[in-house]
Amino acid sequence: MANIGAIEDALNALRAQNEDVIDATVISRSGMHIAGNVPPDAHIETYVAMNAIILGAAESASSEVKDKLEFIVVNMKHCKLLIFDVGARALMAVRTRSNASIAPLIEDINAYREKIESNL
């Protein structure tokens, strides 16, 4: 059974630790919201489902070229969306400021991914 409180704590700590993180969400591979927040004007069901679809498509593409997917970056005009797998059952979508430097974020996010995975 997932420890939602511990997952929420990890997401809150990630947001508090890095001012470039706007919001962070943990999503099941089937596209269901597990924990965290979504963009304020987003339809939660659509947002989480589309993140799961994006990750699944990218994993399929990386498999076709015989490589392993590390993460996805979607560059938008006003933000970046980073999508990571969190084990076999979930993924994490992290929305950042558009000018955020990716490299330091990856280290922070990876540390919290392990905490989140252990609580799923």
Q: Distance of CA 106 to CAs 15, 42, 45, 81, Å?
A: 13, 24, 26, 12
Provide the CATH number for the domain formed by 4-118 in this structure: 3.30.450.30
Residues 6+ apart with CB under 8 A from 80: 73, 74, 95, 96, 97, 98, 100, 102
Q: Token pair 């990571």 is at which residue?
A: 84
The tens-digit pLDDT sequence of the chain (120 residues) is 789 999 999 999 999 999 999 999 999 999 999 999 999 999 999 999 999 999 999 999 999 999 999 999 999 999 999 999 999 999 999 999 999 999 999 999 999 999 999 999
- Burial of 16: CB neighbours in 10 Å, binned 0-12, 13-18, 19+: exposed
Show me where the domains of the chain are located.
Answer: 4-118
The model's pTM: 0.93
